[in-house]
Amino acid sequence: MSDTESPLGLDPGLLARFRAAGTKIAWRPVAGPSRGRSGTTRIAHLHDEEARVERSGGAASTVVTVDAGPVGALVLLLEIDRRGLPAALGSQEAGRSPAFPSGAIAAAWGSAALRADARPTVGDLVELARYAKCLYYLIISYSNT
């Protein structure tokens, strides 16, 4: 996508701030067992917040699942910005998955199946990502323009 185009439909200033925050994410492998051959699991670390990120499937059919929180929402928004709108968005309640004890948000592209307790919108992800501590000052400065 270009600097001004995005499937997210966000104001260009807010989109630029989300993209800038995305460049600050530090990725590290997960300690202990991770996903099988068809997927990867990593931790997205941004300032003092983290989110578990699992990717499964192949190029034609992919599911990205993240911890339900601001950094996870930011990761999903950036994935949508890169890949286009998903076929489905879903959330899982806390305790449903041992890998995501506090709940999860997932996006599926292609024909991937998505099990979900609720169906959030892209707007819900934007609102949650605004709470990331790393974005606080960026969002405040955006609001004052």
1 pLDDT higher than 90: no
C-alpha to C-alpha distance for 117 and 90, rounded to whole angstroms: 7
CA 14 centroid distance within chain: 16
Q: Residue 54 CA to chain centroid, in angstroms? A: 10
In which residue are the tokens 């890998």 written?
99
Give residue-wise pLDDT tens across range 42-83: 999 998 899 999 999 887 899 999 999 999 999 999 999 999
Task: Name, in order, each residue with C-beta under 8 angstroms of 37's C-beta and a sequence gap of 6 or more.
Answer: none
Per residue in 113-134, pLDDT tens? Answer: 888 888 899 999 998 888 765 5
Give the whole-angstrom CA distance, residue 140 versus residue 145.
9
Say if CB 108 and CB 119 are below 8 A apart: no
Calpha distance 39→62 (Å, rounded): 9
pTM: predicted TM-score of the whole model, two decimal places: 0.85
Residue 116's pLDDT is 83
**Which residues lie across from 53 on neighbouring strands?**
42, 66
Q: Is the pLDDT of residue 17 over 90?
A: no
Q: Is 79 left (phi over 0), alpha (psi -120 to 50) or beta?
A: alpha
For 81-114, how does the pLDDT look when each residue is reduced to its tens digit (9 = 90+)?
999 999 999 999 999 999 999 999 999 999 888 8
| pLDDT at residue number 130 | 80
Give the integer Cα–Cα distance in Å for 56 and 35: 8
pLDDT at position 33 is: 60
